[in-house]
Structure 1
Amino acid sequence: MTQALSSCSWQFPPQTRFDKVIPKTKFYQQAAVNSALQARFVEELEQIIWACKLAPDTVNLPATEAVTEIQVFTLKLKGETLSEEVVAAIDKAIPFPIIFELQRTLGEDRQQLRYLAAYKRKSAADAASWVRSEYLDSGWIPATAPRSALPAAINIERLYQALLVSLLPIPARTGESMDEAIVRLGRLRKLDKQMAALRKKIGTEKQFKRKVELHRELKALQHEQSTLSQTEGAGAS
């Protein structure tokens, strides 16, 4: 997963705290977790905590039809890594947008945090279903790093978008919707893979003419990448 442009760490207001430990078994049936994934839950995850609820009665912001509240889940790791499949299974079981705060300890006292979140919205075809983007990732942050107040927003939906924008590995553009930013990020990630594959081909290609063609293809992809990464006029929406 691509890391966010800048590390972020949030100070969730005391009134939002819920801090309820949720047994792992609660997610097995809800998300149809198979035995292999259950094993990852056991091997990689120490504890699941429903940490905070960002809702009208806790952050004094109105809900919208699209986003009524945001959940914050703390995932305490046993080791250094957590499979994305585990995060996705928890996400699938909860019918609300979620911000995940992963916690791990390196050595005796090096504690770190990492935020993960997918852009999660109700399906246009089925209001009871949810659609998720690929995960946005803050990268690991020292647990002792200063925490920032939640972004200013006029409603819960805008708060959710502001939290996601801070996790984007690309600058958001002025007037760009979250859907558009996610599509642009997805195309950039696809371009990265395509260019890596092309560079590999160029390195092994023996025929000069074919090598020239591959270079031309690579240049076209690089141009598209540059256009999509354009930062002029970019700003958080």
Structure 2
Amino acid sequence: MSTLFAWPQAATVESRIARDRLFRQAGGGKAIRALYDAQVQRIDWAFKLFVRSVNLPPSGGVDEIEVFRLHLRGDRLDDRVLAHIDKAIPHPILFELVRHAPDGDEVMLAAAYKRRSEADKSQAVTLEHWRGAWVADLEPRAPLPQAASLKGLYAGLLRSLWPHGARAGESLRAQAERLSQIATQGKAVERLQLILRRTGDFARKTEINRELRAAQAALKALTAKD
């Protein structure tokens, strides 16, 4: 079951974020603007997790974590919007996606692993976005993951979303990169399965089956605990 967190009152920001600011910082043309117009009602900077609001020291390049609430116009949000916001904001972001439902608003947590670029510290490297399930906004929220630093808090928040746990001794970055490989390999398996269903030629089916078994074996190796 997906978890929503009880963000500390001391971390409250409650500031509206103008789209123009995001486009000034991240660029973007008509296609991404159209996604914002169709899918996003408003964006709020809800919380700022840093040393004075959570009493945890910076470490490992993480000195603050933002929590943004995105109020949606409908039920879905394209990952390209999340990637665009992450590009505009240098700090790690936890997104709370909010949609209207008959019994009250529902919230989904989403986030991508983000780190400073080793080639250019002013730039960030962001991987895939992972999402939880929709949860009623009025449901009781869980306390923040226990941590000794902001990097540890960031790790706990991300791992609450990730579908595969860390291997023994695996760093947060290594786990994130393995999950990225899992996502890519999973898409390869799905693509081969689709091709197989659409192929009538026996020889071609045999070849695709061989490729599919290899792709499934690679995916199994990536998702194994050790």
Normalised to the residue count of structure 2, the TM-score between the two structures is 0.91
- SS of the residue 1:148 aligns to: coil
Q: Quote the Cα distance in structure 2 between the aligned partners of 1:69 and 1:227.
A: 34
1:73-104 CA-to-partner distances (Å, cap 9, x unmatched) read: 11111222222222222222111111111111
Cα distance, 1:137 vs structure 2: 1.0
Task: Map 1:13-162 onto structure 2 (within 5 A).
Answer: 13-107=8-102, 109-162=103-156
Task: Decide whether aligned partners of structure 1 residues 36 and 155 sit closer, same or farther in structure 2, where only a CA change above 3 A counts.
Answer: same
Cα distance, 1:65 vs structure 2: 4.8
Q: Is the 8 A contact 1:45 1:76 kept in 2?
A: yes
Task: Decide whether aligned partners of structure 1 residues 218 and 15 sit closer, same or farther in structure 2, where only a CA change above 3 A counts.
Answer: same
1:2-42 CA-to-partner distances (Å, cap 9, x unmatched) read: xxxx4111000111111112222222212213234233323
- SS of the residue 1:120 aligns to: strand
Structure 1 unpaired stretches of 5+? 1-5, 233-237
Q: How many residues align?
A: 226
Task: Decide whether aligned partners of structure 1 residues 223 and 207 sit closer, same or farther in structure 2, where only a CA change above 3 A counts.
Answer: same
Task: Return the letter of the residue paired with 1:187.
Answer: Q
Q: Quote the Cα distance in structure 1 between the aligned partners of 2:200 and 2:97.
A: 47
Normalised to the residue count of structure 1, the TM-score between the two structures is 0.87
Q: Quote the Cα distance in structure 1 between the aligned partners of 2:23 and 2:191.
A: 37
Identity of aligned residues (%): 36
Q: Quote the Cα distance in structure 2 between the aligned partners of 1:18 and 1:204.
A: 52
Task: Decide whether aligned partners of structure 1 residues 77 and 198 sit closer, same or farther in structure 2, where only a CA change above 3 A counts.
Answer: closer
Cα distance, 1:206 vs structure 2: 4.2
Q: Aligned-residue CA RMSD in angstroms?
A: 1.9
1:137-157 CA-to-partner distances (Å, cap 9, x unmatched) read: 113222233210000011001
Task: Return the letter of the residue paired with 1:99.
Answer: L
Cα distance, 1:160 vs structure 2: 0.5
Identify the structure with bigger relative contact order (alpha carbons < 8 Å, sequence gap 6+). 1
Task: Decide whether aligned partners of structure 1 residues 205 and 10 sit closer, same or farther in structure 2, where only a CA change above 3 A counts.
Answer: same
Q: Quote the Cα distance in structure 2 between the aligned partners of 1:82 and 1:205.
A: 33
Q: Which position in structure 2 is the counterpart of 1:235?
A: none
